[in-house]
Amino acid sequence: MPKNGQTQQFNKAAFQAAVEKHLTTTYASTDETATARSWYLAMGKALAEISTGNLLATEKNLAEQKARSVNYLSLEFLIGRLTGNNLISMGLYENVAEAMEEMGQNLTDLLEEERDPALGNGGLGRLAACFMDSLAAQEYPAVGYGLHYEYGLFRQSFVDGRQVEAPDAWRGIEGYPWEVLRPELSQEVSLYGHVEGYTDENGVECRRWVPAMSVEGVAWDLPIVGYDNKSVYPLRLWECRSNAPFSLARFNDGDYVGAQYSALEAGNVTKVLYPNDNHDQGKALRLMQQYFHCACSVADILRRHEAAGNSIESLSELETIQLNDTHPTIAIPELMRILMDEYKLGWESAWEISSKTFAYTNHTLLPEALETWSEALIQQMLPRHMEIIFEINHRFMKQVEQTWPGNNEVKRKLSIIQEGPQRMVRMANLCVVSTYAVNGVAALHSELVKRDLFPEFNELFPGRLTNVTNGVTPRRWIKYCNPGLSALISEKVGNDWPANLEKIAGLEKFADDAAFQKRYMAVKKENKQRLANWVEENMGIELDTDAIFDIQIKRLHEYKRQHLNLLNILALYHRLLNDPTFDMHPRVFFFGAKAAPGYALAKDIIFAINKVAEKVNNDPRLGGKLKVVFIPDYRVSLAEILFPAADVSEQISTAGKEASGTGNMKFAMNGALTIGTMDGANVEMREEVGDENIFIFGLLVDEVQKLKQEGYDPYRYYHADSLLRAAMDLLETDEFTPGNPGQLAAIRHNLLEGGDPYLVLADFADYVKTQEKIDAEYRDQKTWARKAILNTALMSKFSSDRSIRDYANNIWKLEPVSL
């Protein structure tokens, strides 16, 4: 247990009194009327009192010390439930469990009352959450800036196997106990209007924005509690509100909607998280969200900088701004605008500051995810910003001309403005031109960014493009979610591993120890039982924990290839029913995935998996060997049950498409063996654990590219492989949709007539063969245990503490500051 300041300060009686106070005064409940939810809320508020005190103390200390800070700008922070995690970081888990027990409450039950703040789509948002945790744990001064969405990622349910979306009012009607309103930090954000020229008092020709309207940005702080230290950093989430007065006159005239029109309009800006992962939709409201986020955040950074008595010229010495993907790119012209139009700096001085302040992380190579905004839209909503973007591009094009004289092709390629019937602004190009560092998120991905996405930029700006391999926080993803494994690790390597994951390598020497193997596998069995209980209680499906638990949990996307997994399941089904010589170890295939509401094929894949599940789970001919479970409403709190229970982790994207993946790391830390392609961070995981402890299959990036260039023909694979044919053809029958043949045919159609864009068929045979290898190896439990232990032991590289140290040392040049 960490012995930090917060543990030492803990006064049980005072804490219980605070809980009682909130129960009665904040939530109007008595001991008799209080529900588990009101107890959870009151407990959360009492804890937030402790963390808010430390948040303010941290802010004050950092300002006094004039500490250099990172500002992490992200449209998504998929933080998951905070209470349990914060208790661990504060070192108060046991103390609070005891205090609540004395009040007649069970902490574990109360923690279940918390709704997940689902303020992100998937990997990108969850990474931001892990990074905030690691910044605080290592006391690298930081502020996270995001949006206070009223509705987080939609809640998913299945109706007759089909995904149905419902709004996610994550705060409930009572509000979220951990958040603190900071009215003194409110910002005014301007929109629309026009730009005018004027001559200032010194006779200098200037430009200024004359906006047509403005809204108010209100700050809510969530505490990011440092593990085993006193620092608490803010995750500052901006809510958009109207700053126009309510029109009493219109209301009295009976125009009830008109009276509140501006409030309704402003409220829309932060109403809902866009539910797209790795896909850019180009909607005007989304651009407004992005600008609102950036305007509030940049203004707040400048406010902090000035309040600490620093000059604007020293901005880039004291503040760095990390752009989490291109979503906050508009912060760049926003800072330039403020520096020039408000601080009256010339272009060169403003550019000098701005280009040394921003750094950018690229999270994808997928063309459909690379953001572009219509010039007309930016021009209308943010006319001064468009002007600045043009000027950045104009100066950049001159630089390109110097390097490649007369080469219009390279100019067209690198230009921030994409020509065409509708001119578009390429946000990634704007980022590369305007930042001091650009990083990919895994070694392979960063190489591909240099080699395939931005080769000319790499030539033009040597050293700017770099790599920081992703990581995940071991506090949430081992210590909190897997207490059994954590106890075992602590027993062997001491209990400071959650803050020093290198220590976990100490487990390596127990990999062959029979007694340790037994205990390690017993923990795995308990975790499988915990998941099986959840499935039985919530889905009514009974599972055998001796079966292999094979899990694929991530957003539903063709490139992640849940349909490859499905085809293997169909192949197993076919063989169990048709091949008397075929045998397999019982296996449960778990899925958890949300599909973007407008992504038809992804939704078809969910439907197909659910229909196959319905059939195989109830087919006595299969002798219980094959089960399929699609967990509805996959979210962080369910991930916490799923990762520790996995024997096999599915990381089967088409090589070159998954930038990194982070679920792959969480699985391996918790002792699951990976079946994966040479993609994203799988490549580095293989380097760490060794080829014999991971199951790699499929085409390599260059083979994928070559096959595509040569003209990939999925039919070739279909005709050559009878097992593949059998699996594919099942999709056309009514085997899983009795009386309705063809209901699953869209997938087959996409893979054959649609050209199989993600090469599912090309990788099928190797995937099946590798799954057979897993089946055989699982039967030797000692060898399996050895491999699983080694996976846990050899994952220290993938702690987000290491990622953050890489950013701090190589990009941000940041030093820790303790409170």
Kindly write out the interface string for residues 694-733 of this chain, putting x where it contacts ligand DL6 by CB under 6 A and - elsewhere. Answer: ----------------------------------------
Q: Give whichever of 43 and 665 is closer to ligand DL6, judged by the CB atom.
A: 665
Burial of 64 (0-12, 13-18, 19+ CB in 10 A): exposed
Q: Give whichever of 483 and 597 is closer to ligand DL6, judged by the CB atom.
A: 597
- Find the binder of ligand DL6 among 2, 84, 123, 211 (CB under 6 A): 123
The residue with its CB nearest to ligand DL6 is 123
CB of 633 to ligand DL6, least distance (A): 20
CB of 510 to ligand DL6, least distance (A): 30
Q: Is 450 a catalytic residue?
A: no
Q: Give whichever of 122 and 211 is closer to ligand DL6, judged by the CB atom.
A: 122
Take residue 55 and report the two structure tokens written for it: 């948040």
Kindly write out the interface string for residues 46-85 of this chain, putting x where it contacts ligand DL6 by CB under 6 A and - elsewhere. Answer: ----------------------------------------
CB of 151 closer than 8 Å to CB of 241: no
* 363 makes contact with ligand DL6 (CB under 6 A): yes
CB atoms within 10 A of CB 283: 12
Q: Give whichever of 568 and 651 is closer to ligand DL6, judged by the CB atom.
A: 651
- Find the binder of ligand DL6 among 91, 680, 698, 714 (CB under 6 A): 680
Kindly write out the interface string for residues 538-557 of this chain, putting x where it contacts ligand DL6 by CB under 6 A and - elsewhere. Answer: --------------------
Q: Give whichever of 627 and 805 is closer to ligand DL6, judged by the CB atom.
A: 805
Range 264-293, binding ligand DL6 (CB under 6 A): 277-278
Q: Which of the stretches 109-117, 123-131, 571-579, 803-811 binds ligand DL6 when contact is defined by CB under 6 A? A: 123-131
From 81, 555, 557, 575, the catalytic residue: 555
CB of 172 to ligand DL6, least distance (A): 28
Give pairs for 730-734: CB < 8 Å, separation 24+.
730/570, 730/573, 730/574, 731/570, 731/608
CB of 663 to ligand DL6, least distance (A): 8
Residue 222's DSSP bridge partners are 235
Range 648-667, binding ligand DL6 (CB under 6 A): 658-662
From 68, 171, 327, 554, the catalytic residue: 554
Kindly write out the interface string for residues 438-477 of this chain, putting x where it contacts ligand DL6 by CB under 6 A and - elsewhere. Answer: ---x----------------------------x-------
Residue with tokens 């129960």: 23
CB of 18 to ligand DL6, least distance (A): 38
Q: What is the rounded CA–CA span in Å between residue 564 and residue 555?
A: 15
3-state secondary structure labels for all residues of 279-317 = CCCCCHHHHHHHHHHHHHHHHHHHHHHHHCCCCHHHHHH
Range 184-213, binding ligand DL6 (CB under 6 A): none
CB of 79 to ligand DL6, least distance (A): 15
Q: Give whichever of 66 and 686 is closer to ligand DL6, judged by the CB atom.
A: 686
CB of 382 closer than 8 Å to CB of 335: no
Q: Which of the stretches 24-32, 363-371, 749-757, 788-796 binds ligand DL6 when contact is defined by CB under 6 A? A: 363-371
Q: What is the rounded CA–CA span in Å between residue 189 and residue 295?
A: 6
CB of 145 to ligand DL6, least distance (A): 17
CB of 131 to ligand DL6, least distance (A): 10
Q: Is 194 a catalytic residue?
A: no
From 361, 662, 737, 770, the catalytic residue: 662
Q: Give whichever of 470 and 743 is closer to ligand DL6, judged by the CB atom.
A: 470
CB of 726 to ligand DL6, least distance (A): 32
Question: What are residue 541's phi and psi, to 5 degrees?
Answer: -105, 130
- Find the binder of ligand DL6 among 353, 369, 427, 437 (CB under 6 A): 369
What is the DSSP secondary structure assignment for residue 797, as one 8-state letter?
A: G
Burial of 387 (0-12, 13-18, 19+ CB in 10 A): middle
Q: Which of the stretches 104-112, 142-150, 361-369, 692-700 binds ligand DL6 when contact is defined by CB under 6 A? A: 361-369
Range 569-628, binding ligand DL6 (CB under 6 A): none
Helices (H), 735-815: 745-751, 760-778, 781-793, 800-806
From 148, 464, 524, 560, the catalytic residue: 560
Q: Give whichever of 161 and 661 is closer to ligand DL6, judged by the CB atom.
A: 661
Coil vs helix vs strand at 746? helix
What is the DSSP secondary structure assignment for residue 602, as one 8-state letter?
A: H
For ligand DL6 (CB under 6 A), the number of binding residues is 18
3-state secondary structure labels for all residues of 23-86 = HHHHCCCCCCCCCHHHHHHHHHHHHHHHHHHHHHHHHHHHHHHCCCEEEEECCCECCCCCHHHH
Q: What is the rounded CA–CA span in Å between residue 735 and residue 740?
A: 9
From 476, 603, 627, 666, the catalytic residue: 666
Range 298-327, binding ligand DL6 (CB under 6 A): 325
Q: Give whichever of 278 and 473 is closer to ligand DL6, judged by the CB atom.
A: 278
Backbone CA torsion sign across 361, 363, 365, 369: negative
Q: Give whichever of 665 and 746 is closer to ligand DL6, judged by the CB atom.
A: 665
Q: Give whichever of 84 and 440 is closer to ligand DL6, judged by the CB atom.
A: 440
Q: What is the rounded CA–CA span in Å between residue 521 and residue 512?
A: 13
Q: What is the rounded CA–CA span in Å between residue 586 and residue 613?
A: 15
Coil vs helix vs strand at 420? coil
- Find the binder of ligand DL6 among 46, 107, 118, 127 (CB under 6 A): 127
Contacts of 429 (CB under 8 A, 6+ apart): 414, 415, 416, 457
Q: What is the rounded CA–CA span in Å between residue 237 and residue 211?
A: 24
CB atoms within 10 A of CB 234: 25
CB of 183 to ligand DL6, least distance (A): 32
Range 741-800, binding ligand DL6 (CB under 6 A): none
Question: What are residue 396's phi and psi, to 5 degrees?
Answer: -65, -40
CB of 327 to ligand DL6, least distance (A): 7
Residue type at position 312: I
Q: Is 560 a catalytic residue?
A: yes
Backbone CA torsion sign across 808, 812, 815, 819: negative
Contacts of 527 (CB under 8 A, 6+ apart): 482, 484, 485, 641, 644, 645, 670
- Find the binder of ligand DL6 among 124, 137, 340, 523 (CB under 6 A): 124
Maximum separation of any 2 CA atoms in the chain, in Å = 92
Q: Give whichever of 124 and 746 is closer to ligand DL6, judged by the CB atom.
A: 124
CB of 658 to ligand DL6, least distance (A): 4
Contacts of 795 (CB under 8 A, 6+ apart): 501, 504, 665, 668, 669, 685, 688, 689
Q: Which residues bind to ligand DL6, rule: CB under 6 A?
A: 122-124, 127, 277-278, 325, 363-364, 369, 441, 470, 658-662, 680
Which active-site residues does the annotation give?
363, 554-555, 560, 662, 666
